[in-house]
Amino acid sequence: MSEFREKVRAWLAENVPGDEELANAKRFQAALYDAGLAGITWPKEFGGQGLTSAEQQVFDQESARYDLPNSVFRIGMGMCGPTILDLGTPEQKARYIPPLLRGDEIWCQLFSEPGAGSDVASLQTRAVRDGDEWVVNGQKVWTTVAHLADFGALLARTDPDVPKHQGLTMFLIDMHDAAVTVRPLKDMTGRAPFNEVYFENLRLPADAVLGQVGQGWLAAVTMLGHERVSIGGFVRKRHDPLAHANLAETARRYGRDADPVVRAELAKLYAAERALALFNVRLRQEAEAGSPPGARGSVAKLAGAQLQQQAVAVAGLIAGPRATAWEPGDAAGEELALAINQTPSSSIAGGTDQIQRTIIGDRILGLPREPVVDRDVPFRELRVGTQRSA
């Protein structure tokens, strides 16, 4: 393992570029792929390395020293790619996985809608069979990197006459099709990392279905499981201003490092970071042994969101008003304020904290399920989204 660690360390030191422009990101990912460091645990026959979670952990530890220009690939690597490997046909895996790993193609996930956020199964985007094709009409929202994506995993309703969880199908779509319109949305930081997406008579071939027709909820649960592990299992980067090490440095810079309260909160934050990191190592090892994370992905996602909030609280304790207002030219102060402003999204993206707690209660703790009044009602009869006014 030490030999592999040295290989990762040497390659990263020589090849990480200095900016995160899309072209550089693609060149970096291609170089990573050529060096045998992309898709470390993915199957060899589809471009992966076929190694174990131990090698992945080494890569994560070493790469955390840098701000890798690969965030644009996170949806594809963490969610779409693993779901295609789980449910795709051999042809779909051969077509989509290698270019995804090389960084040639960027992916997005098309789930959320204006009238169906956390209740994904209430979505209204329709896919209607027309001969050998499907015709899609509808709208998605909060779609991360859709403005850069080449392909997307789309969840659409294909049968409104059955209960809402039973009439869904997942499709793999070309985001460059003229029938797809992408409009960026700005968040409170002023950036536009996500989008609203419209489909107007988008025509898809029969082989665009991922999994089985009418089994889209199963595909969605599979992808959401990967998503929660991916979001909750993030590794603190070297320059993340909310990482324990950087907050400890901020405390020294502001002369707060001798304060016993600050020291105690920093210690708690360090323990929480380590606990989440070790929990995710365990999930990876168990997945490698054939036990998918399932509902435990919700534990990782919830713990990751809580860790972000804990770090923001510690940042406020250390920096006070300087956590939200900084002197001109204070790049560190600006980065800290930006990170704080981005934190609320961690409790929403990938399913709210409340959704994660419900899943943990139902499926892990065995608590009584919440009453569900629409489980057996045909979707067409539900008053959701635009159907509320019907």
Position with higher pLDDT, 344 vs 153: 153
User: Percentage of the chain surpassing pLDDT 90?
Assistant: 50
State the alpha helices, DSSP H only, in the chain: 2-15, 22-34, 53-63, 74-75, 81-87, 90-102, 216-232, 244-253, 260-288, 296-319, 331-342, 353-359
For the residues 36-58, what does the mean pLDDT come to?
Answer: 90
Query: Is residue 209 domain-shared with residue 273, that is, in the same domain?
Result: no
pLDDT in tens, 133-169: 999 999 999 899 999 999 999 999 999 999 989 999 9
Of the candidate ranges 119-128, 229-238, 260-269, 375-384, the one whose mean pLDDT is the lowest = 229-238
- Asked if residue 298 is part of any domain, the answer here is yes
Query: Is residue 30 domain-shared with residue 82, that is, in the same domain?
Result: yes
pLDDT in tens, 169-224: 999 999 999 999 999 888 776 777 789 999 999 999 999 999 999 999 999 988 88
Query: Is residue 241 domain-shared with residue 347, that is, in the same domain?
Result: yes
How confident is the model at residue 93, as a pLDDT? Answer: 97
Query: Is residue 120 domain-shared with residue 95, that is, in the same domain?
Result: no
- Asked if residue 126 is part of any domain, the answer here is yes
Q: Is the pLDDT of residue 17 over 70?
A: no
Of the candidate ranges 43-47, 104-108, 113-117, the one whose mean pLDDT is the lowest = 113-117
Q: Is 227 a catalytic residue?
A: yes
Position with higher pLDDT, 376 vs 108: 108
The end-to-end CA distance of the chain, in Å, is 62
Which amino acid, one-letter code, is at 353?
D
Position with higher pLDDT, 332 vs 137: 137
How confident is the model at residue 40, as a pLDDT? Answer: 92
Question: CA 333 to CA 92: how far, in whole Å?
Answer: 46
How confident is the model at residue 337, as a pLDDT? Answer: 85
Question: CA 222 to CA 80: how far, in whole Å?
Answer: 10
Tokens in use for 200? 């107007």
Query: Is residue 191 domain-shared with residue 142, that is, in the same domain?
Result: yes
For residue 164, the domain's CATH number is 2.40.110.10
- Asked if residue 366 is part of any domain, the answer here is no
Query: Is residue 154 domain-shared with residue 252, that is, in the same domain?
Result: no
Question: CA 7 to CA 237: how far, in whole Å?
Answer: 20
- Asked if residue 111 is part of any domain, the answer here is yes
User: What residues make up the domain containing 182?
Assistant: 107-215
Question: CA 348 to CA 194: how far, in whole Å?
Answer: 13
Instruction: Give which of 37, 1, 2 is closest to 16, Cα–Cα.
Output: 37
Query: Is residue 240 domain-shared with residue 346, that is, in the same domain?
Result: yes
Catalytic residue among 105, 113, 196, 227: 227
Q: Is the pLDDT of residue 389 over 70?
A: no
- Asked if residue 206 is part of any domain, the answer here is yes
Of the candidate ranges 4-18, 78-92, 278-292, the one whose mean pLDDT is the lowest = 4-18
Query: Is residue 320 domain-shared with residue 295, that is, in the same domain?
Result: yes
For residue 84, the domain's CATH number is 1.10.540.10
For the residues 318-328, what does the mean pLDDT come to?
Answer: 81
pLDDT in tens, 226-260: 877 666 555 556 678 899 999 999 999 889 999 99
- Asked if residue 115 is part of any domain, the answer here is yes
- Asked if residue 179 is part of any domain, the answer here is yes
- Asked if residue 230 is part of any domain, the answer here is no
Of the candidate ranges 13-17, 218-222, 290-294, 344-348, the one whose mean pLDDT is the lowest = 13-17
How confident is the model at residue 233, as a pLDDT? Answer: 56
What is residue 342's three-state secondary structure?
Answer: helix
User: Percentage of the chain surpassing pLDDT 70?
Assistant: 93
What's this model's pTM, rounded to 2 decimal places?
0.79
How confident is the model at residue 385, as a pLDDT? Answer: 66
Query: Is residue 191 domain-shared with residue 155, that is, in the same domain?
Result: yes
Most confident of 176-180, 192-196, 327-331, 376-380: 176-180
Question: CA 227 to CA 10: how far, in whole Å?
Answer: 30
Q: Is the pLDDT of residue 12 over 60?
A: yes
Cα pseudo-dihedral 250, 251, 254, 260, rounded to 10: 170
How confident is the model at residue 47, as a pLDDT? Answer: 92
Query: Is residue 60 domain-shared with residue 121, that is, in the same domain?
Result: no
Q: Answer positive or negative: Cα dihedral of 374, 375, 377, 383.
A: positive
Query: Is residue 132 domain-shared with residue 72, that is, in the same domain?
Result: no
pLDDT in tens, 56-73: 888 988 887 787 888 899
Query: Is residue 186 domain-shared with residue 211, that is, in the same domain?
Result: yes
Task: Count structural domains, the chain.
Answer: 3
